[in-house]
A = this chain, B = another copy of it.
Amino acid sequence: MKHSLKITLAYDGTAYAGWQLQPDRLTVQGVLETALQKITGETIRVTASGRTDAGVHALGQVVGLTTHSQLPPEVLQKGLNAVLPDDIVVREVCEAPAGFHAIRDAQRKRYRYVINDAPIRDVFARRYCWQFSQRLDEGAMQRAARGLVGQHDFCSYESRGAPRQTTIRTVYLLEVCRREDGKLQIEIEADGFLYNMVRAIVGTLVEVGRGAEADTYPSQVLAAKNRSAGGATAPPEGLFLVKVDYGNSCESPTSSPA
């Protein structure tokens, strides 16, 4: 009898062609499934809360799977971490309710986007932030961000996405702040995200931050219902999937790094 497990992963996406399995490409899903086979002996297909693109990172990606394996969760975790490469780590394994589905059951997701707008690039964070060539006004960006909070049709913030039933999403939180280390951090939480939505929002807020647009710009883009009205899609290396919230079923651990 198979049972359901929920795995929480962190990964450095730099070396990967994204989350999703692709023939002849190194993907996080492919590497995780290989590791699962090594430890359990089973061929296991996993489902993540969502795909991350090439170069995008995760602090708390959530993956669901079913298995015959009777290994206790902590033993499975240690085994996986022993065989996974050093840019992927299992932060938690727990039993999930029967029928757990990592996409369908997700209630909220949180992403973080990090921008370094210091004149001198940070050689140690170069894979983990957008190195921006100009100082940004975080106050203007924070004011501009307010117009995107709430329930809206975000079709202007979706790039060439797969057809969807609806492009309406609810953004619960969108905060722009400067961290102690001088980098800008944009934190966004919603009930779901369209394809490239966070990177389109960041690219649009940056137009405000660099003074090219007024702080009403993101709302105008929203109203235009046209992707080309907004700023460019921000590069992948600044983006982190922070956590996925499933309500009462086992929580993903909150993040420490990045």
Contact B121 A86 (CB under 8 A): yes
Q: Which of B11, B120, B125, B181 contacts A123 (CB 8 A)?
A: B11
Q: Which of B81, B126, B257 contacts A181 (CB 8 A)?
A: B257
CA distance A86 to B257 in the complex (A): 22
CA distance A57 to B89 in the complex (A): 24
Q: Which residues of B contact A126 (CB under 8 A)?
A: 12, 86-87
Contact B11 A57 (CB under 8 A): no
Q: Which residues of B contact A256 (CB under 8 A)?
A: 122, 181-182
Contacting B at CB under 8 A, from A148-188, are 181-182
CA distance A86 to B125 in the complex (A): 10
Q: Which residues of B contact A11 (CB under 8 A)?
A: 123
How many residues of A sit at the interface, in one of the four size bands? 20 to 34
Contact A10 B123 (CB under 8 A): yes
Q: Which residues of B contact A257 (CB under 8 A)?
A: 122, 124-125, 181
Q: Which residues of B contact A88 (CB under 8 A)?
A: 123
CA distance A88 to B124 in the complex (A): 9
CA distance A121 to B12 in the complex (A): 12
Nearest residue in B to A87 (C-beta to C-beta)?
A: B123
Contact B258 A81 (CB under 8 A): no
CA distance A87 to B123 in the complex (A): 5
| Per-residue interface assignment for chain A, residues 7 to 49, with 1 indicating a CB less than 8 Å from any chain B CB and 0 otherwise | 0001110000000000000000000000000000000000000
CA distance A123 to B31 in the complex (A): 15
Do A124 and B81 form a contact, CB below 8 Å, given A181-B256, A181-B257, A182-B256?
Answer: no
A128 within 8 A of B: yes
A91 within 8 A of B: yes
Contact A12 B86 (CB under 8 A): no
Contact A12 B57 (CB under 8 A): no
Q: Which residues of B contact A10 (CB under 8 A)?
A: 120, 123-124
Nearest residue in B to A57 (C-beta to C-beta)?
A: B124
CA distance A214 to B122 in the complex (A): 39
A/B interface sample: 22 pairs, CB < 8 A: A10-B123, A10-B124, A11-B123, A12-B123, A12-B124, A12-B126, A81-B120, A86-B121, A86-B123, A86-B126, A87-B123, A87-B126, A88-B123, A89-B120, A89-B121, A91-B120, A122-B256, A124-B128, A124-B258, A125-B257, A181-B257, A182-B256
Shortest Cβ-Cβ A-B pairs, 7 listed: A12-B123, A124-B257, A86-B126, A87-B123, A89-B123, A122-B257, A89-B121
